[in-house]
Structure 1
Amino acid sequence: MSGTGYTALPAGGLESPEALSRADTDEEVTPGDIAVGVVIGRSSEYFDFFVFGIACVLVFPALLFPSLSRLDGTLASFAIFSLAFIARPFGTAISMAVQRRWGRATKLTIALFLLGSCTVGMAFLPGYQSLGIWAIVLFAVLRIGQGLALGGSWDGLPSLLAISAPPGRRGWYSMLGQLGAPVGFLMAAGLFAFVHDQSTPEEFMAWGWRYPFFVAFAINVVALFARLRLVVGQSYSHLLHQNELEPVKASEVMGSEGRNVIIGAFAALASFALFHLVTIFPLSYIEIYSDQPVTNVLRVQMLGAVLACIAMVASGWLADRFGRRNTLGTMAALICVFSLVSPWMLGNGQAGNNAFLIIGFILLGLSYGQSSGTVTANFTPHFRYTGAALSADMAWLVGAAFAPLVALSVSARFGLAGLGFYLLSGGLCTLAALAINRAIETRDDL
Structure 2
Amino acid sequence: MSSSMPEDHRQPGGTSAAEIGRLQTHAKVAPGEIAIGVVIGRTSEYFDFFVFGISCVLVFPTVLFPFETPLHGMLFSFTIFSLAFIARPLGTATFMLFQRRWSRGTKLTIALFLLGSATAGMAFLPSYKDIGAWSIALLILFRILQGIALGGSWDGLPSLLALNTPPQRRGWYAMLGQLSAPIGFMVASALFLFLHANLDHDDFIDWGWRYPFFVAFAINVVALFARLRLVVTEEYTRLMEERELEPIGMFDMLRAQGGNIFLGAFAALASYALFHLVSIFPLSWIALGTTQSVDAVLVVQIVGGVACILGVITSGVIADRIGRRTMLGTAAALIGIFALFAPLLLGGDRHAQNAFIIIGFALLGLSYGQAAGSVTSNFESRFRYTGAALTTDFAWLIGAAFAPLVALGLSTRFGLVAVSAYLLSGVACTLVALRVNRALAARD
- Structure-2-length-normalised TM-score: 0.94
CA contact (8 A) 2:53 2:280 kept: yes
Superposition pairs for residues 123-272 of structure 1, below 5 Å?
123-272=123-272
Contact 2:291 / 2:349 at 8 angstroms: preserved in 1? no
Q: Could you tell me how far 1:441 is from its partner in structure 2?
A: 2.1
2:57 corresponds in structure 1 to 57
Structure 2 gaps, min length 5: 1-20
For 2:386, the equivalent position in structure 1 comes to 386
Partner of 1:357: 357
Shift in alpha-carbon separation, 1:26–1:161, aligned structure 2, 3 A: closer
- Per-residue CA distance 1:32-64 (angstroms, 9 max, x = gap): 110111001000000000000000000000111
Counterpart residue number, 1:17: none
Aligned runs of 1:293-304 on 2, under 5 Å?
Answer: 293-304=293-304
Identity of aligned residues (%): 63
Amino acid at match of 1:416: L
AA paired with 1:79?
Answer: T
Contact 1:65 1:73 in 2 (8 A): yes
Give deviations 1:146-192, integer Å, cap 9, x for gaps.
00010001001001111111230011001111111001001100000
RMSD: 1.2
1:75-105 Cα deviation digits (max 9, x unpaired): 0000000000000000000010000011000
Q: Which amino acid counterpart does residue 409 of structure 1 have in structure 2? A: G
Equivalent-residue separation in structure 2 for 1:27 and 1:311 (angstroms): 30
Aligned to 1:37: 37
Q: 2:328 is aligned with what amino acid?
A: L
CA distance in 2, matches of 1:333, 1:310: 19
**In structure 1, what is the Cα distance between the partners aligned to 2:121 and 2:33?**
32
Structure-2 residue corresponding to 1:305: 305
The corresponding residue for 1:318 is 318
Q: Which runs of no fewer than 5 residues in structure 1 stay unpaired? A: 1-20
State whether residues 308 and 364 of structure 1, in contact with CA within 8 Å, keep that contact through their aligned partners in structure 2.
yes
Which residue in 2 is equivalent to 1:118?
A: 118
* CA positional deviation for 1:26: 10
1:384-423 to 2 correspondences below 5 Å: 384-423=384-423
Q: Secondary structure at the residue paired with 2:315?
A: helix
**Paired residue for 1:343?**
343
In 2, Cα distance between the equivalents of 1:166 and 1:190?
36
Q: For the residues of structure 2 that align with 1:320 and 1:159, how far apart are their CA atoms? A: 18
CA distance in 1, matches of 2:25, 2:372: 29
- Per the TM alignment, residue 250 of structure 1 is displaced from its structure 2 partner at its CA by 1.3
Deviations along 1:336-392, one digit per CA (max 9) or x if unpaired, are 100000110001110011000000000000000000100110000010000000000
For this pair of structures, how many residues does the alignment match?
422
Matched, 1:77 2:86: no
Matches of 1:317 and 1:431, distance apart in 2: 21
Alignment correspondent of 1:15:
none
Q: Please list the CA deviations of residues 9-50 of structure 1 after superposition, one character each: whole Å capped at 9, or x if unmatched.
A: xxxxxxxxxxxx9xx969811111101110010000000000
Alignment of 1:86-125 (within 5 A): 86-125=86-125
CA distance in 2, matches of 1:166, 1:430: 26
Q: Distance in 1 between matches of 2:164 and 2:312?
A: 19
CA contact (8 A) 1:280 1:404 kept: yes
- 1:310-331 deviations in Å (ceiling 9; x for gaps): 1101100111100000000000
Task: String of CA shifts for 1:100-121, please: whole Å, max 9, x gaps.
Answer: 0110001111111111110111
1-structure distance, mates of 2:318, 2:442: 24
Aligned to 2:429: 429
Decide whether the 8 Å contact of 2:25 with 2:239 is kept in 1: no
- Residue 291 (structure 2) aligns with: 291
| Cα deviation 1:244-278 (Å, max 9, x = unaligned) | 11111111110001000010000010000100000
SS at match of 1:372: coil
Whole-angstrom distance in 2 between the partners of 1:136 and 1:30:
46
What amino acid maps onto 1:76 in structure 2?
A: F
Q: TM-score, normalised by structure 1?
A: 0.93
